[in-house]
Structure 1
Amino acid sequence: MSFIGYLRPLVQGRASDEPAQRRAFASLALGFTTSAVAFYGAVHLVGATTLGSRPGTVAQLVAVGVLAVCLIIDTGIFGLRTPMLRRQTPQQYFYRYGAARGALLWGLDTGLVVTTFRVTSLTWASLTVTLLGLVPWWAGIAYAAGFVLPSAVFVLVVPRSSDPENAPEPVWLMDRIRDWEPWVRRSAPVLLGLTAGALLLSV
């Protein structure tokens, strides 16, 4: 199911109950951010406990190696795919617990970083540098912002359809997001390469 499809329970009926819709989105953002920060924080704590709190040259070289592997996977040259749990967060949260509580649970689930499909290996790269102490424990805030801010634009800013029964979603936005996916896939190896290069230069 598409990114937009999962946000559908938050955007339908917006015109008739906008305050409730905003509360539901706030719950989603809170849940997602809480889980993301907690997960990245836990990964950072595990790394600091087992590897030490001050990363050195070895940690940087290990990170370069992992980033190189992620880069190779994302190029697809060997037919490899990003390791992932092939699962979608249950949309039934919204229907079983209501908009606000369902959105909170959905956010808490999805914000756990590795519980759903991955488009690229960037997630694993970011978790690696967090584990090795090369980024701060609150790196999950950046991860959360990458989801919450685009979601806020879609849910709170993009106008609703004039025919909500037959066209509840802005089709142009769905098409645009689909068009972006290949670009995201192609840009991931570039980002991984640049990050690995920067780490090598700083050794």
Structure 2
Amino acid sequence: MFAATLMSLVVYVIGAGLTLLVPQTGLQVVMAVVAVVLGVADLLNRTPHIWRQVPQSLVRTHPPGMLGLTWGFDLALLFTTQKSTSLTWAALAAALLLHPSFSWLYLVGMTVVGVLTIALRSVTWNFVPLSEFGDRLQPWFVPMRRTAGALLVVVGVLTAAGTW
């Protein structure tokens, strides 16, 4: 939660500055474009993500508690881990461009849901095993990504239409 709070602070400061410099209509148009671009990326199976994770060397050099803390901090930053859809990116953009004053609620809320999902999956690991390649080869993965992409395109189009 600490990392998400730090992230929300950055989003708030940048977003508040943008709202002073750019008219609301301009920010809505940018958000519409971002949503459509992210949606198309999901539809084309090109969800953006950063090719970086917590360094594997930490497994050998950090005690379990510190390693868990480091991994949890990284997860709570939201943008540093690989994404299955662009919904997280769209939520970050919306917080930044449309509602920076609610950034803490959005980002910490997303983090709490993400951490609870990981915790639930960890507890139920033995009951619903992953394939040897992980969740990415599950039959629901591609339809989930395409559905998220289509919804982002619709949200982008509706946002653009609402701006005019």
Same topology, TM > 0.5: yes
Distance 1:63 1:141 in 2: 21
Question: Are residues 1:49 and 2:49 paired?
Answer: no
Which residue type is aligned with residue 61 of structure 1?
Answer: V
Moved over 6 A (4+): none
* Residues 3 and 73, structure 2, Cα contact 8 Å, conserved in 1: yes
Deviation for aligned residue 1:106: 1.0
Deviation for aligned residue 1:92: 4.6
In the TM superposition, 1:35-184 aligns within 5 A as 35-52=3-20, 56-76=24-44, 81-134=46-99, 136-138=102-104, 139-155=106-122, 157-158=123-124, 170=126, 172-175=128-131, 177-178=135-136, 179=138, 180-184=140-144
Deviation for aligned residue 1:126: 1.8
Distance 1:187 1:87 in 2: 26
- Could you tell which deviates more after superposition, 98-107 or 120-129? 120-129
Say how many residue pairs are matched.
157
Structure index of larger Rg: 1
Bigger relative contact order, structure 1 or 2 (CA pairs below 8 A, ≥6 apart): 2
Which residue type is aligned with residue 73 of structure 2?
Answer: L
Q: CA RMSD in A?
A: 2.8
Deviation for aligned residue 1:68: 0.9
* Residues 52 and 80, structure 2, Cα contact 8 Å, conserved in 1: yes
Cα-to-partner distance string for 1:64-86 (whole Å, 9 max, x where unaligned): 1111111121111xxx7233321
Distance 2:30 2:144 in 1: 25
| Identity level (%) | 29
Which residue type is aligned with residue 186 of structure 1?
Answer: R
Match of 2:155 in 1: 195
Which residue type is aligned with residue 127 of structure 1?
Answer: L
Deviation for aligned residue 1:110: 2.8
Cα-to-partner distance string for 1:161-198 (whole Å, 9 max, x where unaligned): xxxxxxxx527332494424223312211331343244
* Residues 94 and 103, structure 1, Cα contact 8 Å, conserved in 2: no
- Residue 83 and residue 150 in structure 1: after superposition, are their counterparts in 2 closer, same or farther (change >3 A)? closer
Report the secondary structure of 1:107's partner residue.
helix
Deviation for aligned residue 1:98: 1.9
For structure 1, the residue ranges without an aligned partner over 5 or more in a row are 1-32, 159-168
Report the secondary structure of 2:28's partner residue.
helix
Report the secondary structure of 2:51's partner residue.
coil
Which residue type is aligned with residue 151 of structure 2?
Answer: L
Distance 1:55 1:153 in 2: 42
Which residue type is aligned with residue 11 of structure 2?
Answer: V
